[in-house]
């Protein structure tokens, strides 16, 4: 019984089952090359968006200010996500609530009118 080969669940590899690369160390991340975000490489992202309400402390989210809220609504009437708008999580929640309140009092549209 001792000379019988013990069956491994993922084949005979001793590399830990990591695929084609095996278990070898790839080295530190900065030595691997590739695009650094500091020098503008990467996947084509532009510069980092900053929350306009955090940048300007005098600016407040208000449902009555429809002109400012239109920036955060698409032409179809959808709320723009924060990865697009650049808002922080706190102000994105406030903007979403203000847009919903503005819709309720008919300052902002729920949807667009269909032209035929």
pLDDT the model gives residue 95: 97
pLDDT the model gives residue 10: 55
Neighbouring CB atoms inside 10 A of 85's CB total: 16
**DSSP 8-state class, residue 39:** T
pLDDT the model gives residue 88: 95
pLDDT the model gives residue 31: 61
Helix (H) or strand (E) holding 85: helix 82-85
pLDDT of 36-56, one tens digit each?
545 555 666 677 789 999 999
Average pLDDT value for the chain:
78
pLDDT the model gives residue 43: 67
* Sign (positive or negative) of CA dihedral 8, 14, 20, 25: positive
pLDDT of 73-91, one tens digit each?
998 999 999 999 999 999 9
Instruction: Determine the straight-line distance between the first and last CA of the chain, rounded to whole angstroms.
Output: 82
Q: Can you give the three-state secondary structure of 44-71, one letter per residue?
A: CCCCCCCCHHHHCCCCCCCCCCHHHHHH
Q: Give the CA distances from residue 101 to residues 8, 61, 64, 91, in Å, rounded to whole numbers and listed in that order.
A: 60, 12, 9, 15
pLDDT the model gives residue 62: 95
* Sign (positive or negative) of CA dihedral 75, 76, 77, 79: negative
Report residue 15's pLDDT band, with 50, 70 and 90 as the boundaries: low
**DSSP 8-state class, residue 33:** -
């Amino acid at each position: 019984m001792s000379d019988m080969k013990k069956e491994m669940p993922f084949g005979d590899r001793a590399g830990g089952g990591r695929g084609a690369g095996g278990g070898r160390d790839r080295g530190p991340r900065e030595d691997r090359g590739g695009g650094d975000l500091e020098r503008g490489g990467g996947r084509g992202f532009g510069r980092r968006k900053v929350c306009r309400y955090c940048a300007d402390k005098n600016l407040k989210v208000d449902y009555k200010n429809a002109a400012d809220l239109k920036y955060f609504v698409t032409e179809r009437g959808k709320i723009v996500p924060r990865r697009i708008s650049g808002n922080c999580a706190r102000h994105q929640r406030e903007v979403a609530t203000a847009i919903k309140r503005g819709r309720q009092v008919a300052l902002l549209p729920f949807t667009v009118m269909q032209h035929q």
